[in-house]
Structure 1
Amino acid sequence: MTVMAMERPVPAGEIPRDRCQAQRVLIVEEHELLQAGLRAVLHGEPWVASCLGVSTADLAWQVARRYQPQLVLVSTSLPGRAGLGLCREFHAQMPHVRVVLMSAEGRVSAALGLVNGAVAALPKQMPTAALVASVKRVAEGGRVFPKDTGPLPVQLSKRELDVLQHLVSGQSNPEMALSLNLSRHTVKQHTSAVYRKLGVRNRAQAASRAQELGLVA
């Protein structure tokens, strides 16, 4: 297992000048150059004690259990929509970890982030200074989501959102039933509820509407 790490020694007697305690950070990013850039930028911050980097969700979970990070940056474009799944896994298994979703495909809504257990959603194209400031705000206990995300007209349950995400990825009802460990009848009920709440009649319209509302990454 290859783990890219950076660690900054803290001089004895050094007293932090801000509210943010030294953080162990884990970056889960499939693109090695971007991962290295994020590590280099965060490593230079006085509130970052160490910064690890991995490229897959499986490695991320192994590293997290060993090194116990306090802050995790997760790419939403990990293969197989694993980014959102990893976010939910941290929320369920290590609820003390603060997860930041990083997206290159457009904004991630507060609704999508929160229902998956994230406390922030940031575009990968953010200017470096703004990104660092946002991540530090999360480390201090804050939440950071797109400014243009207000109360959404559509309120989906967590299970309905799961169904929507699988629907948008192209899965059939039988495939969704298998993936979500639900009966086909239950999947059909959830799908009908999603259509009704989104005000659409079919899968293509549901996918388009979900993208407009930022309900899927």
Structure 2
Amino acid sequence: MRTNDLIAITADDDEFFRSALNTILTKQLGFSDVIETGSYDEALEQLAAHTDIALGLFDLKMPGMDSAGSLRTVREHFPGTRVAVVSSSKDRKDVLTGLDAGVHGYVPKDLSIVELSRALRMIMEGWVYVPPSITDISSDEDDPSGIWSERPARSVNEAVASLTPRQRQVLMLLVKGNSNKEIARALKLGEGTIKVHMAALYKNLGVNSRAEAAAIGARFL
């Protein structure tokens, strides 16, 4: 990954945190420039004006941002930009909503500088980053939305370990944000075959969506 000629954009109404991200991106990750914005609409305007933005970091609680689902618009209109949420919220529903919208990562604001740098580097290298807590379910009270209620009794580690080599390949590409068509092309298989492998993944991992499967894969692969 070469970042010394790349541009990032941050969208957060907390000026102090924007400044901190700017320092991390330029000093730790080597970005040449960081465009700072304080609202969702301002970020969209800047993305439209600059076609070479490689990374966009969005807070969830700022003017114009309804939810993590709002970032689906960013992903659809600016496919060349890696998009991540950087938020103080650790709510699993927010994380999964963001992943379902197609974001490339969900980064908690309370990470250390080293951890935050590592998370952003992973995102730029093509991986999807999620906080480790996304797979730590200890009781029904931790899962009020019921999103994870269909999980198998065995541990997540055991579920991932039980996948076939092909299923692991599919999951790895899913974590990297590839569509079924892209996965099929990469593995030289038909899309119908990929759909079969996806169904097996969902069953083995005890999930019901690509976002949930990607969350587990990003944490345990």
State whether TM-score is above 0.5: yes
Q: Give TM class, smaller chain.
A: 0.5 to 0.7
1:102 Cα shift?
1.2
20 and 154 in structure 1: CA distance in 2 versus 1, 3 angstrom threshold: farther
> How far off its partner does 1:116 sit?
1.6
- 1:149 partner letter: I
| Contact 1:56 1:78 (C-alpha < 8 Å) held by counterparts | yes
Uncovered stretches (5+) of structure 1, i.e. residues with no partner: 1-18, 156-217
1:119-172 deviation per Cα after TM superposition (whole angstroms, max 9, x unaligned): 1101111101110111011011111002232483369xxxxxxxxxxxxxxxxx
Gaps of 5+ in 2: 136-146, 152-221
Q: Is the 8 A contact 1:20 1:136 kept in 2?
A: no
Give yes or no for contact 1:74–1:101 (8 Å, CA) kept in 2: yes
Residues of 2 paired with 1:99 and 1:108: CA distance?
Answer: 18
User: Structure 1 residue 80: deviation in Å?
Assistant: 5.1
- Give the AA of the match of 1:41: I
Match of 2:75 in 1: 91
CA distance in 1, matches of 2:92, 2:11: 17
Q: What residue in structure 1 maps to residue 10 of structure 2?
A: 27
> 1:32 and 1:92 mapped to 2: Cα distance?
27
Compute the displacement of 1:81 (Å): 3.6
Residue range with higher mean Cα deviation, 43-52 or 146-155: 146-155
Change in CA separation of 1:89 and 1:72 when aligned onto 2, cut-off 3 Å = same
- Tell me if the contact between 2:39 and 2:64 (Cα under 8 Å) persists in the aligned partners: no
Q: Residue 94 of structure 1 aligns to which amino acid in structure 2?
A: F
> What TM-score comes out, normalization by structure 1 length?
0.56
Q: Going by fraction, where is helix more abundant, 1 or 2? A: 2
- The 4+ residue runs of structure 1 with deviation greater than 4 A are 107-110
Larger radius of gyration: 1
Match for residue 147 of structure 1?
A: 132
User: Hey, what does 1:131 align to over in structure 2?
Assistant: 116
Amino acid corresponding to residue 25 of structure 1 in structure 2: A
Q: Superposed, which structure 2 residues align to 1:56-205 within 5 Å?
A: 56-68=39-51, 69-79=53-63, 81-82=65-66, 84-108=68-92, 110-150=95-135, 152-153=148-149
- What is the percent sequence identity of the aligned residues? 18
SS at match of 1:148: helix
Q: What is aligned with 2:34?
A: 51
Could you say what the CA RMSD is over the residues aligned between the two structures, in angstroms?
2.3
CA apart distance, 1:114: 1.3
Q: Quick one: which amino acid aligns to residue 153 of structure 1? A: S
Aligned-partner Cα distance in 2 for 1:149–1:106: 8
